Structure 1
Amino acid sequence: MWFINKRILIGGAILILIALMVGSCFYFYNKGIKDSTVPVQKIASVSRDNIRDAQLNMHKYRGEGDVKEVTHLIEKAKTKPADIQYTARTQEEADRKANTLAKKDKADYLLKETNNDNNTINNNYYSIHQEKRNRIGAGVAVINNDIYGTVHYQRDRLRVEAFKSITNPKGKSLDGAAVSYDFVKF
């Protein structure tokens, strides 16, 4: 009888720990969305020079290929109707609303193109995502004095990794695999 109760207690403790881990991940994820602000950078018009200058000001410049890609994405977005339209009375209120939408969209930064026509302020906001979602990599791991070649695929926070021994190959099958998840990104 004591053996059954001990198993139930251990199982309950494990379930409580899992619930605490999931709850804390959810809390910190939402706290990060609420607390963070997405930098807004003004540009006069959408051109490669203006986008390069905006990226340099925010320390987000990665190269001319990236500037070309961001310019292309903005020009492509301009051909479609806006997904979200809203009115604001002041420039600060418009920036606040755009920042809130960019946080929900998980943008790296925001480019703002302003057109002043008479007494109306027309802002075009472009949320820029520079972090790529998919990654493929390779590496080397040493486990118990055995050298393993590793290959991994990562999508967002989930990472899948495969191991194959270099020093002691044992057939064509993999020697190991791993799955990991990033709980916190900063």
Structure 2
Amino acid sequence: MSRTLSAAIAAAAFGLAAGLATPAAAQGEGEKVNQVIVYGDDPCPQSAAGEITVCARKAESERYRIPEALRGSESPDNTAWTNRVTAYETVGAFGTLSCSPVGAGGSLGCTQRLIDAAYAEKSGDSSIRFSELIAKEREKRLSTIDEQAAEQQARVEAAEKAYMERQQKKEAEEDAASPATTAPLPTPKGN
């Protein structure tokens, strides 16, 4: 009796699975989607009957480059040979400044290794490099600083000249308004 029960359950499960697969299969009978990447001004291929063609357009400069998804791969297969050789050179390193638990002063090199790794990561980072942006902005500002300083100096000299002319004019007016007293000063008497 248990065999017939398990056979009945299996038949029901198979029938249920076959019934559920039919709508999914019917959905797959629709139009085929063709995804194409085109570069520059290349035309997008025309869709055929029963097919939808979707084109993603990229710049002409991207045509022969490695795809973006593979450029930043951290896979060991993408490591340059020079980096692999450098890694093998440090296998037997021990002692002072080696960043290893072996030898006297082996742990002293760990800080330097961290610093070197941070600088290597910073220089190899593909994102915006703020140091370069700052250097460019500084260069742009320094290129105009001489002109700005000359303009400022000219404004200051013009303001000083106008001030001096006003002072001389004021003194001349005061001298003209007051009576001329040019009496000689008394001479001091001898001791």
Q: TM-score, normalised by structure 1?
A: 0.25
Q: Which has the higher strand share?
A: 1
Q: Which has the higher helix share?
A: 2
